[in-house]
Amino acid sequence: MDSKPLAKPSHNRYDNIWEVRQSGYPNDSEVERCLKRGDAMDYVEIGNGIRYYSSAEGFLKAVLSQGCIKLPVWKVLCPRLDNKKVGSIYYIVKDCDGKRHVYRATYGYWGTGPHEAALIEHVLESRGLTFEVRDGDYLLGLLDLI
């Protein structure tokens, strides 16, 4: 990353992912190598055209290999009830075939998950994709489950 934005992006206003990203990536080629790990896009088809990925790398491989995706990338924050400074982040991408690609990351734990969200945001932002932040109330609607 040659230059860093001076201000925290609006899609990171409720989580610590921006701070995790600022710890840096040595270079973008390391990110590309990270995406090449593993042979398969590890997901479970959970019905209604929803693919739930078990790794950030698998999610990114699937999203980046799509010929067409519908913007924005949805970022749904679901804080824990007992501590709103930690919680889950669901990244949801709809492709032009109507499939929804979902990955669950975390924020606020510092060391047990935020790096995956940071990787997803770094890779997708570097390719010009935009995020739309929503709270947990939107999760079921975005998955077309309600």
pLDDT band at 82 (very low <50, low <70, confident <90, very high): confident
Q: Is 63 exposed, middle or buried (0-12, 13-18, 19+ CB in 10 A)?
A: buried
pLDDT of residue 102: 94
**Mean pLDDT, rounded, for 41-50:** 84
Nearest to 61 by CA among 2, 124, 135: 124
Q: What is the pTM of this model?
A: 0.75
As a whole-number percent, the residues of the chain with pLDDT over 70 amount to 79
pLDDT of residue 85: 79
**Mean pLDDT, rounded, for 6-11:** 79
Q: Pick the range with the lowest mean pLDDT from 15-19, 36-40, 48-52, 57-61.
A: 36-40
